[in-house]
């Protein structure tokens, strides 16, 4: 499912048109790409599948893709995405859609087996503190994004890039002075989501108010304000990105409970020049992420105390998986609040032994990167700035990036004092 989730990360390439500045033999502005893939994780075992995408079909900025996956432990998944579809009458509006359907023979859930049991998923929980059973993990998400008429978005709602050998040489870019009124693009997104996860567990597990087949349902709306001042969205080398995201489950329909989260995501990119002879590009990428569920509270119930008005254990303040704390299984840590910090050093050598490698459709590896990264994070039962920055978890590792037809393919291996993971996916981590 790593490639499937990596396809979802293409949302980060919002509203871009990329054309190649080369000779008449340059590939068409319509890009088609398919790749077989494989990965390994503790929870899934060996995963393998195929993914594909098409960019520039019907509309130059429009991207559609899909992926299927199977694993050695009986998991299967299907992912479909559509990005940046624009109705012609509404120049500044873009629509995204995501569908994920997955079935696992051994789906892990880091939530308490009993109300009086271990604090599964908490910062101090043990490596084996999880439940596991056959189950589903499904997601449907629809986003409507509006580009505000300020900054670079005043005249043009789309980014236009001219690239040569995988890097921009001309076009509309950010990366300059931080000023939303003059540079970069500011977008406002209205999101609707529905998420279901289920576990068919052994009858020995008990969870107040839940049958043997545990089902966690959530649906609601989100409001995202984003300022993007990166110089080249698929592979930034300077500039920054800021997001403020308010998400609300109103407890409607089949939702288990109502809840609210508020998160702040800050990213910064700095070009380095330690060795221009060896490296075509060097970048230091930094990320900070904070999240809290202010509605969460502990209430008395017939079986003792229970937590109410908090997102399910796989949503909200969650660390672990392919995006945050990559050395840990997905959802390894979850609670009311979380902080997360990441730093990546990305090196792009001039030497490219992969450029002549034969690939489907005659595509070439236009550049490759070596990456070293470090991550630190913590979840907590309440928002306490001092406590959130004590006894933090860590994850470190190495990665490689390959630009194929202006699509970044990423391989990361990460380790911690608890476990290690290997991930294969699409797009830079951030």
In the numeric block, which tokens belong to residue 317? 């303040």
Q: What residues contact 311, with CB distance under 8 A and at least 6 apart?
A: 218, 249, 259, 261, 293, 317
186 has pLDDT over 90: yes
CA distance 430 to 427: 8
- pLDDT tens for 31-73 read 787 878 777 766 677 888 998 888 878 888 888 999 999 988 8
Strands 167-171 and 185-200: unpaired
- Tokens found for residue 56: 């520039």
Q: Which residue has the tokens 């089949």?
A: 254
d(CA 178, CA 180): 7
Structure tokens at 270: 């700095």
pLDDT tens digits, one per residue of 280-312:
999 999 999 999 999 998 887 665 677 889 999
Task: Pick left, alpha or beta for residue 239 (phi over 0 → left; psi -120 to 50 → alpha; otherwise beta).
Answer: left
Closest CA to 51 of 427, 430, 428, 429: 427
CA triplet 249, 319, 298: central angle to 5 degrees?
Answer: 50
Comparing CA positions, the residue from 189, 183, 367 lying closest to residue 282 is 367
> What does DSSP say about strands 259-272 and 185-200: parallel, antiparallel, or unpaired?
unpaired
pLDDT at 98: 95
Mean pLDDT of 220-242: 95
Report the mean per-residue pLDDT for the chain: 85
Lowest mean pLDDT among 163-167, 375-379, 383-387: 163-167
Q: What percent of the chain has pLDDT over 70?
A: 86
What is the distance between the alpha carbons of residues 133 and 135, in angstroms, rounded to a whole number? 6
């Amino acid at each position: 499912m790593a490639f499937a989730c990596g396809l979802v990360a293409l949302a980060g390439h919002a509203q871009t048109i990329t054309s190649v500045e080369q000779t008449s033999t340059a590939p068409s502005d319509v890009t088609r790409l398919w790749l077989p893939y494989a990965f390994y994780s503790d929870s899934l075992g060996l995963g393998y599948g195929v993914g594909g995408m098409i960019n520039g079909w019907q509309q130059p900025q429009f991207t559609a893709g899909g992926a299927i996956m199977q694993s050695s432990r009986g998991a299967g998944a299907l992912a479909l995405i559509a990005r940046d579809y624009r109705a012609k009458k509404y120049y500044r509006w873009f629509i995204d859609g995501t569908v994920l359907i997955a079935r696992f023979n051994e789906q892990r859930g880091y939530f308490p087996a009993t109300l009086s049991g271990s604090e599964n998923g908490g910062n101090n929980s043990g490596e084996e503190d999880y439940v596991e059973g056959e189950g589903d993990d499904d997601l449907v998400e629809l986003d409507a994004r509006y580009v505000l008429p300020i900054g670079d978005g005043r005249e043009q709602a789309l980014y236009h890039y001219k690239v040569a050998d995988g890097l921009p040489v001309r076009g509309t870019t950010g990366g300059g002075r931080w000023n939303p009124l003059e540079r970069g693009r500011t977008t406002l997104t209205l999101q609707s989501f529905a998420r279901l996860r289920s576990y068919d567990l052994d009858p020995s597990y008990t969870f107040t108010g839940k049958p043997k087949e545990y089902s966690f349902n959530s649906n609601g709306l989100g409001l995202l304000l984003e300022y993007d001042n990166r110089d080249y969205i698929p592979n930034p080398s300077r500039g920054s990105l800021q997001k403020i995201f308010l998400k609300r489950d109103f407890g409607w329909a089949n939702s288990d409970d109502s809840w609210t989260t508020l998160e702040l995501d800050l990213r910064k990119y700095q070009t380095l020049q330690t060795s221009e002879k060896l490296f075509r590009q060097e970048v230091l990428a930094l990320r900070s992420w904070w999240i809290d569920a202010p509605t969460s509270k502990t209430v008395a119930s017939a079986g003792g105390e229970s937590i109410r008005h908090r997102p399910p254990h796989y949503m909200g303040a969650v660390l672990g998986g392919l995006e945050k704390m990559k050395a840990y299984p997905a959802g390894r840590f979850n609670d009311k609040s979380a902080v997360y910090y990441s730093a990546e050093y990305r090196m792009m050598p001039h030497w490219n032994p992969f450029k002549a490698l034969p690939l489907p459709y005659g595509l070439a590896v236009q550049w490759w990167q070596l990456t070293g990264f470090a991550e630190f994070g913590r979840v907590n039962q309440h928002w306490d700035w001092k406590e959130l920055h004590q006894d933090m978890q860590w994850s470190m590792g190495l990665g490689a990036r390959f630009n194929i037809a202006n699509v970044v393919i990423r391989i990361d291996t990460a380790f911690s004092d608890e476990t290690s993971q290997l991930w294969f996916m699409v797009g830079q981590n951030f």
